[in-house]
Amino acid sequence: MTPLVTAAVLLAAVTHASWNAIAHKITDKLAGFALISGGGVLIGLALAPFVAFPAAGAWPYLLASAAVHIAYYALLMKSFRLGDFGQAYPIARGTAPLVVTLLAALFAHEVPDGWAAAGIALSCAGLTGVALWGLRGRRPDWAAIGAALATGLTIAVYTVVDGLGVRASGSSLGYIAWLMAVQGVVIPAYAAWRWRGETVALLRPFAAVGLLGAALSVAAYALVLWAQTRAELAPIAALRESSIIVGAAIGAVFFKERFGAPRIAAAGLLVVGIGLMLHSG
């Protein structure tokens, strides 16, 4: 993995944690996700005339990814309703790399070497530690944990699907533009149906911050898709999970969640894992 690709994935990690924090902060979760996904539609349609149209071979992947992303948004909404940001976000993000490694080996023939395998394992262990140690003796909320784990599975699936799709598309920007346009319609449409004539009034209080979240969401995923055209899927999936550190910091500073010695130790384990993972490149 080149330094430029590494920097792109790390920037994606920061922007991803930021838009998730915005989504968690918005009190009406349906309004927040309607604005974020609907804003993605507007951005995608605005970009579409200026980027290459995805090749025909990419469309089965794009449509499959859109369906998985809808499930992802629904599960993420549920996990944010049920759990703390400092719990839901780490578990969701930490679940994905192990599943991605398995799926990439099965479908993309990207079997990790010893260094990469050790790095990915340590990264996932560190992420899990950040999530579980952060509970500080509280009883786990298994409903919230279950929703976050399911969210992580959808992350793993769309990571592999989009990794294959963007390579077949001929244009990472074209792929992301049309993916945003297709996947983002469902949640705003559901919100409009549920709220009937009150949609604008219910969205207005969160419009500015929600659209900022949309821009960050598109930027985060565009960076990752670009990186996936230049490096293997599993190391990118593991490195992007460094967003957990950003998420934990956001939780500590803005949501007043604890970030004590156990989480710092887990974060250190994550850093060691990333170092081993990058050593393989």
- What are the φ/ψ torsions at residue 203 (nearest 5 degrees)? -85, -30
User: C-alpha angle 267/269/270, rounded to 5°?
Assistant: 60
**pTM attached to this predicted model:** 0.82
Q: Provide the pLDDT for residue 14.
A: 94
Q: How far is CA 109 from CA 113, 166, 187, in A?
A: 12, 16, 34
- The whole-number pLDDT of residue 178 equals 96
Look up residue 126 and give its two tokens: 């560190």
Residue 52 CB contacts under 8 Å (≥ 6 apart), including other chains? 170, 171, 173, 174
Q: What is the pLDDT along the chain (281 residues), one digit of tens a residue?
A: 788 999 999 999 999 999 999 999 999 999 999 999 999 999 999 999 999 999 999 999 999 999 999 999 999 999 998 877 877 887 788 777 777 777 777 777 777 778 878 888 887 787 777 666 655 556 667 788 889 889 999 988 898 899 899 989 988 889 999 999 999 999 999 999 999 888 889 999 999 999 999 999 999 988 988 888 888 876 787 778 778 778 777 877 787 776 556 766 777 787 777 777 666 55
Most distant pair of Cα atoms in the chain: their distance: 58
CA dist list (Å): 11 to 33, 76, 123, 160, 232: 22, 21, 18, 20, 18
- Could you give the count of Cα atoms lying within 13 Å of 84 in the half-sphere of its Cβ? 21
